[in-house]
Structures are given as C-alpha cells and as structure tokens.
Amino acid sequence: MHAWILLWAGVIASTLVSHRAGASATDGTMCLISAERVDEGDVLSSEEIQEAHEACIRALAATGSVIQKYQFQEADFTITGKYHKF
C-alpha cells in the first residue's frame, strides 16, 4: 500500500514539478520510484544513486508544496542514507 501511495505521489509531483524551470517532468517520479526500489530491497549502482539524488534535489527545489518537499526529502534519505544539508 505504501508503495502505491508513493508512486501516485510521484506521478502527481512530477506533473507539478514539470511546470517549474530547472526540473524535468521526470525528476519527481525518478526520485520517488528510486526510493521505492530501495525500500523493496533493490541495490542501486553508484551512478543510479547519484542520478536519483540529483533528481530529488531538483524536484525538491522546484516544488512549493511542503508535503512534496517532505516526500522528496524522505525519498532522498532512503536513496542516499543521509539528509541533504542546505
């Protein structure tokens, strides 16, 4: 259930994020789906981790929604194992 909520949040987030400069339509989705993969036990390569982290940061910067910011921060933590320092 948690995975589906996360996936749909990503779809909605990517739609909203795509309208902001600097972020592509797939950044939010890539961030959340990568976090879901890690939650399911997949091991990401260092390149995948870096790409997903960068997508999370772009999506985080592009959204104005506090809820989406929280979701992207948590997804980034799941992917990297550490919280982003601003």
**pLDDT tens digit sequence for 31-72:** 999 999 999 999 999 999 999 999 999 999 998 899 999 999
Domain count, the chain: 1
User: Is 66 part of a structural domain of the chain?
Assistant: yes
Q: 29 φ, ψ to 5°?
A: -65, -45
User: Is 86 part of a structural domain of the chain?
Assistant: no
Angle at CA of residue 40, ends 39 and 46, nearest 5°: 70
Computed from CA positions of residues 58, 4, 75, 37, in that sequence, does the dihedral angle turn out positive or negative?
negative
User: Is 50 part of a structural domain of the chain?
Assistant: yes
pLDDT for the residue 30: 96
Q: What is the pTM of this model?
A: 0.70
User: Is 43 part of a structural domain of the chain?
Assistant: yes
Is pLDDT above 50 for 17?
Answer: no
Domain that holds residue 38: 2-80
pLDDT for the residue 7: 58
User: Is 85 part of a structural domain of the chain?
Assistant: no
User: Is 53 part of a structural domain of the chain?
Assistant: yes
